[in-house]
Amino acid sequence: MPSGSASLIWFRKGLRIHDNPALEYASRASAFVYPLFVIDPHYMEPDPKAFSPGSTRAGISRIRFLLESLADLDLSLKKLGSRLLVLKGEPSEVLIRCLKEWDVKKICFEYDTDPYYQALDNKIKNYASLAGIEVFSPVSHTLFNPADIIEKNGGRPPLSYQSFLKLAGEPSWASSPLLVELSSVPPVGDVASFEISQVPTLKELGYVQNDQEELTPFRGGESEALRRLRESLSDKEWVANFEKPKGDPSAYIKPATTVLSPYLKFGCLSSRYFYQCLKDVYKNVKRHTSPPVSLVGQLLWREFFYTVAFGTPNFDKMNGNKICKQIPWNDDDELLAAWREARTGYPWIDAIMVQLREWGWMHHLARHCVACFLTRGDLFLHWEKGRDVFERLLIDSDWAINNGNWLWLSCSSFFYQYNRIYSPTSFGKKYDPHGDYIRHFLPILKVVSHDSASKECRRKMGEAYALNKKLNGVVSEDDVKSLR
């Protein structure tokens, strides 16, 4: 490439500096690098009619998480001599204009298997090929390239975790060091006629009138992802003994799992770096758990769903999806709304749904409980409806993983023991016997302290019974008032 030429790195996921091959390649032998994020109305147009704040496709907690991640990325790029450029509009139109006006010779973006990005990326690749622009689109969101696994399996995705493990083996890059530190990024070139904005706030995007209270305790960004990763890894015994599904789904002050999923979703954390760090811990302990229950095993569940999703036409639907059982689900908007809005009357289920709406994250088993309840457990509603609610509200909302788990929980695919149902009462009681979790997320019950409330009730009942006895059961309205 001639010196003086410009490259563009298009950030979508992969919002990080560490282990970012697209950024590294864009920086190589380029005089200028344009780091670009496009605010896409498809995901980010505010929807005032939605049942909770946010856009049609994303709840406000996830949008906030994304904006925080972008602000953190901008800061990191500034430290390397660059900055993040933010533009708004339909991404392929914005991109093509940028490529033309900035005279870009090389465009780099992380490979993405989601159908929405596959279609978008094809448009960009077609334009680049006609315009003679080099495209570099490496696989770095996942440990494996799903297409490689499918090819090894004769063109079909493996449909069980164990068969996936056999095909996958050890990732090819696993024993070589990843590029974790980047020392500099070439400067941004002339931005021509573009009006480049700073990373916007929720208010600037029209989601809120004022900066309001933050509901989710999880802050977005690579810095926070790496801090969280270090914190999780510092307890080597915990990492070595990690065993899912063991763990308390009601633990909310200190969750029982890593809560790295939103960082993996946006690529604030590299799954490959996470994998290597876990393997380093394993090397230094006597014994450790293994897939499917270990932490490495959790990352491999992610890979499994990515592979099946990539290789299955209509993976996100019942109709036309060959691996999905055809089930005559009911259609009932009122029941669906009651579930979505935490009005089922089952405190355990409702508390989980409030945690979803406010935090955008719940423990895996809590997700199991509400997904089972909506589908084969109690309401017999379509898993696609529940999937939509999760897809909008989760901060870790991930096309392949979310659809894969809904298929699983509704016994539509992968798992078929439909007689095994989570009780919406006793399962919760097992983990939350004193109702701490429930009262935390259901504010209406927050002020009720059973110990003092029942003591007070007993006192009042005692007084009333005594009065009844004294007056031989003939009690006037005024007598009752005197007891209040």
Interface contacts to ligand FAD, rule CB under 6 A: 244, 257-261, 264-265, 298-299, 301-302, 305, 363-364, 367-368, 371, 390, 394, 396-398, 401-402, 405-406, 409
Tell me the C-alpha to C-alpha distance, in Å, between residue 93 and each of 25, 45, 98, 100, 109: 24, 17, 9, 11, 16
Measured CA to CA, the distance from residue 480 to residue 484 in angstroms comes to 7
**CB of 364 or CB of 429, closer to ligand FAD:** 364
Q: Which two structure tokens, joined as six digits, stand for 250?
A: 């009601």
Nearest to 105 by CA among 28, 158, 12: 28
Residue among 77 and 369 whose Cβ is closer to ligand FAD:
369
134-136 and 85-88 as β-strands: parallel, antiparallel, unpaired? unpaired
Cβ neighbour number for residue 427 with a 10 Å cutoff: 19
Question: Quick one: residue 167, left, alpha or beta (phi over 0 = left, psi -120 to 50 = alpha)?
Answer: alpha
**Residue 27 or residue 412: which is nearer to ligand FAD going by CB?**
412
Nearer to ligand FAD (CB atom), residue 82 or residue 412: 412
- CB closer to ligand FAD, 86 vs 308: 308
- Which helix (H) or strand (E) segment holds residue 6: the answer is strand 6-11
Pick from 142, 187, 175: which is nearest to 14 by CA? 142
- By the 10 Å C-beta count (0-12 exposed, 13-18 middle, 19+ buried), 72 is classed as buried
Nearest to 86 by CA among 23, 123, 37, 142: 37
Least spacing, CB of residue 159 vs ligand FAD, in Å: 15
Task: Tell me whether residue 163 is annotated as binding.
Answer: no
Residue 425 labelled as part of a binding site:
no
Q: How far is the CB of 482 from ligand FAD (least distance, A)?
A: 54
Sheet with 6-11, strands from edge to edge, namely 85-88, 32-39, 6-11, 104-108, 134-136
CB 200, min distance to ligand FAD, A:
25
Residue 129, CA distances (Å) to 96, 97, 113, 181, 417 in order: 12, 15, 20, 31, 49
299 appears as a binding residue in the annotation: yes
Shortest Cβ 304–ligand FAD spacing (Å): 7
DSSP 137: -
Q: Whose Cβ is closer to ligand FAD: residue 159's or residue 208's? A: 159
Q: How far is the CB of 89 from ligand FAD (least distance, A)?
A: 27
* DSSP character at residue 76: H
304 marked as binding residue: yes
- 259 carries a ligand binding annotation: yes
Rounded distance between C-alpha atoms, residue 62 and residue 42, angstroms: 15
Is 260 flagged in the annotation as binding?
yes
| Nearest residue (CB) to ligand FAD, 236 versus 364 | 364
Nearer to ligand FAD (CB atom), residue 7 or residue 223: 223
List beta partners, residue 134: 106
Q: Would you say 300 is a known binding-site residue?
A: yes
Helix (H) or strand (E) holding 88: strand 85-88
Q: Is 397 annotated as a binding residue?
A: yes
Is 257 marked as a binding-site residue?
A: yes
Radius of gyration of the chain (CA): 26
Question: Shortest approach of ligand FAD to residue 393 CB, angstroms?
Answer: 10
Residue 301 assigned ligand-binding role: yes
Comparing CB distances to ligand FAD, the nearer of 171 and 200 is: 171
Q: How far is the CB of 334 from ligand FAD (least distance, A)?
A: 22
Contacts of 220 (CB under 8 A, 6+ apart): 64, 65, 66, 67, 68, 69, 72, 262, 263, 266, 268
On whether 181 is known to bind a ligand per the annotation, the reply is no
Give the shortest CB-372-to-ligand FAD separation in angstroms.
9
Residue 375 annotated as lining a ligand binding site: no
Residues in binding site: 257-261, 298-305, 396-398
Known binding-site residues for FAD equal 257-261, 298-305, 396-398
